[in-house]
């Protein structure tokens, strides 16, 4: 049967329109978080502070920091999910006396409900106070109610739930209760996981999202930076991370929620004082969940259990803090190229071809041994496909000798942590902890980033916070290598990632 040219053309046009509609829908979902309004120019330089800084301080540094106190006593406390992440987030907020500043990609209740007859999201405030299981929610409320200035910077998603009909989202509840909540707009996406209290007296930098899965089921990694006199962390805060936060905060969109549909009784709950609310034994629950998954998988072995112990920063050590996208790619590649003998990488995914090129070059031309452990599961379809391609290149280049790639233990939902440990100059140990992945958006090319909203092809740039430790005694590095080696015992030869 012959089809007329007119019918064929109509059919072809319909198919094309359908494909465009579907593809456009996928793009809008993938990048529905991107609300950058103006071009972003990199301007925050990496800052490195030495343990004995003030013995060699310049006049400029003296003008910035004042006198020359002894800065020894700075502690670094590595922590990991699922054992310690929830405890850390709570404790940093609970210890705050004057201020808490937070970067987090998302802010949602852990226990939320939807009604079938409406598009309203969130829950009634009374139900949130009664049923909510996310302890950080209560920690933030309590901080605001003891007059601590709490600022939360997060992303706005086009399709996220909206509170109405008397119901509130977590952002609604917090903002109505006195927590300042704004939406990030400086670059494509806010990817950093960062908490600073009391003007830099303590900093938490990690891969931990504010989700039940990230804190209870994933393998994540982070550090708390804190000092006896806090001047090391204060300097890093003033000259790097807080510069990024204040820049982003000024350009962010304020979260608002009208109160016309909220009853006086429910508003009184929002404005009142919390009583209890924090659920007990969160750490034990997370461990029990992992053991239960082991039993389901008929696996008699148990996952490596991490410990959270403070490490005193040794003499001659330094801490370097740098933010993405500001000169972060150059800093990362320089770090990798400086390896002398060995590199350990434990991360969620590698999807950047240039980073892989540098790893291969270091391995082949400098005879550096590279051990890589990656998540056996990757959530996003594009990332999962690209990760498989990139890792195939790595394995072929290493021929199973200089580059060895493993899949992390499947006890975790996702191995979402991001750290690299290597040897460095003059026999030092160097540990890089990142909030971002080894991807083009977390370590983007260039120093000028145009708005990408609505574009399918664009040089997207994420905001991340990264911290690098250089030490002679390797005290910090040993904590991360302990986790690498502990999880390595339950790893497998690399296979392309799947979805959970």
HEC readout, 247-296? HHHHCCEECCCCCCCCCHHHHHHHHCCCCCCCCCCHHHHHHHHHHHHHHH
The mean per-residue pLDDT over the stretch 441-462 comes to 89
Predicted local confidence at residue 161, as pLDDT: 79
31: its two tokens:
């990048």
What gap in Å lies between CA 219 and CA 366, rounded to an integer?
A: 31
Q: Could you check whether the bond before residue 82 is cis, i.e. omega within 30 degrees of 0?
A: yes
337: its two tokens:
């190229």
The mean per-residue pLDDT over the stretch 132-149 comes to 96
Can you tell me whether residue 323 is helix, strand or coil? Answer: strand
What gap in Å lies between CA 184 and CA 148, rounded to an integer?
A: 22
Residue 168: name the closest of 210, 139, 125, 134 by CA.
Answer: 125
What gap in Å lies between CA 488 and CA 304, rounded to an integer?
A: 9
What gap in Å lies between CA 418 and CA 377, rounded to an integer?
A: 15
What gap in Å lies between CA 407 and CA 374, rounded to an integer?
A: 5
The mean per-residue pLDDT over the stretch 357-380 comes to 95
108: its two tokens:
């949602």
Can you tell me whether residue 469 is helix, strand or coil? Answer: strand
Predicted local confidence at residue 315, as pLDDT: 83
What gap in Å lies between CA 251 and CA 248, rounded to an integer?
A: 5
Predicted local confidence at residue 117, as pLDDT: 53
* pLDDT tens by residue, 255-269: 999 999 999 999 999
Predicted local confidence at residue 53, as pLDDT: 52
Predicted local confidence at residue 336, as pLDDT: 97
Is residue 449 scored above 60 in pLDDT? yes
Residue 192: name the closest of 455, 473, 442 by CA.
Answer: 442
pLDDT band for position 230 (cuts 50, 70, 90): low
Percent of the chain scoring above 70 in pLDDT: 81
Q: What is the largest CA-CA distance in the chain?
A: 91
More confident residue, 32 or 87: 87
The mean per-residue pLDDT over the stretch 96-108 comes to 97
Residues in the chain, how many? 500
- Residue pair 498/407 in contact (Cβ under 8 Å)? The answer is no
Predicted local confidence at residue 116, as pLDDT: 53
* pLDDT tens by residue, 373-385: 999 999 999 999 9
Percent of the chain scoring above 90 in pLDDT: 67
pLDDT band for position 73 (cuts 50, 70, 90): low
CA of residue 42 relative to chain centroid, distance? 20
Burial label for 67, CB within 10 Å (0-12, 13-18, 19+), is: exposed
Q: Which of 66-70, 171-175, 285-289, 314-318 has the lowest mean pLDDT?
A: 66-70
What gap in Å lies between CA 387 and CA 381, rounded to an integer?
A: 10
Is residue 61 scored above 50 in pLDDT? no
What gap in Å lies between CA 198 and CA 301, rounded to an integer?
A: 43
Is residue 98 scored above 80 in pLDDT? yes
Predicted local confidence at residue 101, as pLDDT: 98
Predicted local confidence at residue 285, as pLDDT: 43
Count the neighbouring beta carbons within 10 Å of the beta carbon of residue 295: 9
* pLDDT tens by residue, 166-217: 999 999 999 999 999 999 999 999 999 999 999 999 999 999 999 999 999 9
Q: Please report the sign of the dihedral spanned by the C-alpha atoms of residue 198, residue 203, residue 207, residue 211.
A: negative
Predicted local confidence at residue 455, as pLDDT: 75
10: its two tokens:
């109509």
Predicted local confidence at residue 28, as pLDDT: 39
What gap in Å lies between CA 194 and CA 13, rounded to an integer?
A: 49
Mean pLDDT (the chain) is 84
Can you tell me whether residue 38 is helix, strand or coil? Answer: coil
The mean per-residue pLDDT over the stretch 78-101 comes to 96
The mean per-residue pLDDT over the stretch 102-112 comes to 92
CB-based contacts of 476-480 (< 8 A; 24+ apart in sequence): 476/76, 476/78, 476/223, 476/311, 476/313, 476/429, 476/431, 477/421, 477/429, 477/430, 477/431, 478/429, 479/78, 479/309, 479/311, 480/78, 480/221, 480/344, 480/346, 480/419, 480/421, 480/431, 480/433
Q: Which of 48-57, 202-211, 238-247 has the lowest mean pLDDT?
A: 48-57
100: its two tokens:
């808490």
Predicted local confidence at residue 282, as pLDDT: 41
- Residue pair 493/398 in contact (Cβ under 8 Å)? The answer is no
More confident residue, 427 or 333: 333
Predicted local confidence at residue 20, as pLDDT: 37
Count the neighbouring beta carbons within 10 Å of the beta carbon of residue 79: 24
CA of residue 13 relative to chain centroid, distance? 43
What gap in Å lies between CA 322 and CA 338, rounded to an integer?
A: 17
Predicted local confidence at residue 276, as pLDDT: 43
Predicted local confidence at residue 65, as pLDDT: 36
Can you tell me whether residue 146 is helix, strand or coil? Answer: coil
Is residue 39 scored above 70 in pLDDT? yes
Q: Which among 57-66, 155-164, 352-361 has the top mean pLDDT?
A: 352-361
The mean per-residue pLDDT over the stretch 99-127 comes to 84
């Amino acid at each position: 049967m012959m089809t007329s040219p007119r019918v064929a053309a109509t059919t072809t046009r319909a198919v094309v329109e359908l494909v465009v509609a579907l593809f456009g829908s996928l793009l809008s979902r993938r990048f529905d978080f991107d609300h950058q309004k103006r071009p972003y120019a990199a301007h925050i330089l990496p800052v490195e502070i030495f343990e004995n800084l003030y013995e060699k301080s310049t006049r400029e540094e003296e003008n910035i920091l004042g006198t020359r106190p002894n800065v020894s006593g700075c502690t670094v406390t590595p922590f990991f999910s699922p054992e310690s992440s929830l405890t850390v987030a709570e404790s940093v907020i609970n210890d705050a006396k004057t201020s808490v500043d937070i970067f987090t990609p998302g802010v949602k209740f852990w226990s939320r409900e939807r009604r079938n007859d409406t598009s309203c999201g969130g829950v009634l405030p009374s139900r949130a106070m009664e049923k909510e299981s996310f302890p950080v929610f209560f920690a933030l409320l309590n901080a605001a109610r003891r007059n601590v200035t709490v600022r939360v910077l997060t992303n706005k998603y086009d399709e996220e739930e909206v509170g109405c009909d008397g119901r509130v989202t977590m952002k609604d509840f917090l903002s109505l209760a006195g927590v300042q909540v704004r939406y990030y707009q400086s670059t494509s996406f806010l990817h950093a996981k960062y908490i600073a209290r009391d003007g830099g007296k303590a900093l938490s930098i990690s891969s931990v999202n504010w989700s039940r899965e990230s804190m209870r089921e994933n393998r994540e990694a982070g550090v708390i930076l804190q000092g006896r006199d806090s001047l090391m962390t204060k300097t890093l805060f003033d000259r790097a991370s807080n510069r990024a936060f204040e820049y982003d905060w000024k350009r962010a969109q304020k979260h608002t929620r009208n109160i016309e549909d909220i009853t006086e009784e429910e508003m009184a709950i929002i404005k009142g004082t919390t009583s209890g609310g924090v659920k007990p034994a969160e750490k034990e629950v997370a461990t029990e969940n992992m053991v239960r998954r082991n039993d389901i998988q008929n696996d008699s072995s148990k996952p490596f259990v991490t410990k959270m112990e403070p490490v005193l920063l040794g003499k001659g050590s330094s801490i370097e803090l740098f933010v993405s996208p500001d000169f972060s790619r150059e800093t990362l590649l320089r770090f990798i190229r400086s390896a002398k003998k060995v590199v350990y990488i434990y991360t969620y995914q590698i999807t950047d071809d240039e980073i892989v090129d540098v790893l291969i070059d270091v391995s082949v031309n400098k005879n550096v041994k590279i051990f890589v452990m990656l998540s056996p599961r990757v959530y996003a379809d594009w990332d999962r496909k690209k990760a498989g391609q990139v890792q195939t290149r790595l394995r072929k280049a290493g021929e199973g000798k200089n580059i060895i790639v493993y899949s992390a233990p499947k006890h975790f939902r996702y191995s979402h942590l991001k750290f690299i440990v290597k040897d460095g100059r003059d026999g030092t140990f160097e540990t890089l902890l990142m909030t971002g992945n080894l991807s083009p958006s977390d370590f983007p090319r260039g120093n000028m980033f145009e708005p990408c909203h609505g574009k399918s092809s664009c040089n997207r740039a994420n905001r991340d916070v990264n911290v690098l430790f250089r030490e002679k005694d390797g005290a910090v590095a040993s904590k991360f290598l302990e986790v690498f080696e502990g999880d390595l015992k339950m790893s497998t030869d690399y296979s392309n990632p799947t979805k959970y």
